[in-house]
Amino acid sequence: MATLNLDLGSRSYPIYIDTGLLETSSLFETHIRGKRVCVVTNDVVAPLYLDKLKSQLTSFNVDEVILPDGEAEKSLANFEKIMTHLLANEHGRDTSLIALGGGVIGDITGFAAACYQRGIDFIQVPTTVLSQVDSSVGGKTAVNHPLGKNMIGAFYQPKAVIIDIDTLKTLPEREFNAGIAEVIKYGILGDKSFFEWLETHIEDIKANDEKILTYMIQKCCQCKADIVAADETESGVRALLNLGHTFGHAIEAEQGYGKWLHGEAVATGMVLAAKLAVAMDLIEVSDLCRIEKLLKAFDLPLVAPENMGFDEFIKHMKRDKKNIAGQLRFIVPTAIGQSEMRSDIMQETLQQIL
């Protein structure tokens, strides 16, 4: 079992990566301090893994909240549903929540944990590539609003992240590929050698090779853990993890949450960020081509929706959390394996890209 540690002083926590972890009761017992547990999951994951998880929690009084599947369900209405369940079932401050699912479940469960009785414990059990390599680590929790993605939330860290890569065997191919966009992001923004490793292991990744997936997930989690430990609340270097997200979140909000998967929108967003970098003479066209080729190998979209031009993008990007005093800021690559935040983007350049 690979074990990493996210170093945040008294709020540090482990990240476990291996096969068969959903059947390892000792891991859960170590990180649950009370006797009550509420599992939050969705109606796709529950039939696959809820009973398996509950069979490891026989020492606890366990109930569950099962939400509908999909990005559109990361809503205030479902946040309220979790709150109502916890209150109606008299859960106290010694309750632990367990987020069993992908990024949507992890985000909304973490936000519920942050808010219920001003903060209770929670554990992340991510079941998708995207959540295993990115969203389960780092303590960003949120729900969406029709006017903006992840605009209502909190920084709130879990007690542990338990990654069972066996859960990827039941993941649909489209969801698997969408998660790989976030994997590729780590190579572009800060690790050239990892980007090159991905270029040479495309078929192994697609074949769900356990050793390859374990290495890939561990590499991404370590990168994120290092960045979060240095900048927990995104006042500096952590913003680099938003490569592709300024454009991507605009696509998701404009098209309607769930029409494009998050990873698909981020993939297109990274292409647009790279095109912006080419226009600013920060990277070569050859770098853009390598990025596009790797994304295309996983059937990820490279072109923004036909119904989105400059005006449609800009209305959403004006609400981006990285903006300061109304100034748009973008994460752009300066090489394969390097990126930076820039606020000197000319409107004419943006219009040319979009």
Just list the catalytic residues: 118, 140, 182, 224, 234, 238, 242, 245, 249, 262
143 close to 153: Cβ distance less than 8 angstroms:
yes
Q: Which helix (H) or strand (E) holds 308?
A: none
Residues 16, 3: Cα–Cα separation, whole Å: 5
Residues 231, 308: Cα–Cα separation, whole Å: 33
248 close to 262: Cβ distance less than 8 angstroms:
yes
Handedness of CA 138, 144, 148, 151 (dihedral sign): negative
The CB-based long-range contact list for 306-312 (8 Å cut-off, 24+ gap) reads 307/254, 308/250, 308/251, 308/254, 308/255, 308/354, 309/354, 310/350, 310/351, 310/354, 312/250, 312/254
